[in-house]
């Protein structure tokens, strides 16, 4: 059923993520976060977040918390952005409470630092086969394994990773 509503889930998860970040920044650190959305994600990022003079181009990935996903496919164009990073959102649905809670994984460097090199990571392949029955490599993508992501305790910890905020 999810695959039929994947665009809906993606947008809902993004909205929940932004709400968590804005609340934590304001209520926990007394800071504002500006949020800019990309109309087209061919530059490797979905949103741009700015807080306390730190600009982060963020590619968002999401999956169910209990999903068996072991990697994410990343657009290498994100490497060209200052402080590019990937936030892997793990969503846990509680149908009884009609709520979704989020957990995070993070791939990136500190504020103001470039994205770690992905040159050694293998290229992703197209999902469909070509006329010869082969799946060709997607030259502008890399596979980032789950183990390369940092586990993030909560949204407060994520804000510290993203912007170097201190209380």
Domains by residue range for the chain, with CATH: 2-72+82-117+145-163 (3.40.1350)
Pairing of strands 85-94, 54-64: parallel
Q: For 127-145, how does the pLDDT look when each residue is reduced to its tens digit (9 = 90+)? A: 777 788 787 777 789 999 9
Q: Does residue 3 carry a pLDDT above 70?
A: no
- Helix (H), strand (E) counts: the chain: 3, 10
pTM given for the model: 0.91
pLDDT tens digits for range 74-128: 999 999 998 999 999 999 988 899 999 999 999 999 999 999 988 888 887 777 7
CA dihedral over 76, 61, 31, 158, signed as positive or negative: negative
């Amino acid at each position: 059923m999810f695959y039929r509503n994947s665009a809906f889930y993606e947008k809902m998860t993004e909205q929940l993520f932004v709400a968590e970040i804005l609340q934590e920044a304001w209520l926990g650190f007394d800071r504002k976060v500006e949020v800019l959305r990309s109309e087209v994600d061919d530059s490797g990022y979905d949103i741009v977040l700015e807080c306390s003079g730190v600009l982060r181009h963020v590619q968002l990935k999401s999956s169910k918390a209990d999903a068996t996903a072991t990697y994410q496919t990343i657009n290498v164009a994100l490497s060209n952005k200052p402080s590019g990073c990937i936030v892997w959102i793990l969503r846990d649905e509680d149908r009884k409470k009609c709520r979704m809670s989020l957990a995070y994984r993070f791939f990136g460097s500190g504020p103001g630092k470039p994205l770690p090199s992905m040159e050694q990571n293998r290229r992703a392949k197209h999902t469909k086969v070509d006329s010869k029955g082969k799946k060709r490599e997607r030259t502008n993508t890399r596979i980032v394994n789950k183990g390369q992501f940092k586990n993030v305790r909560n949204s407060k910890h994520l804000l510290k990773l993203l912007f170097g905020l201190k209380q």
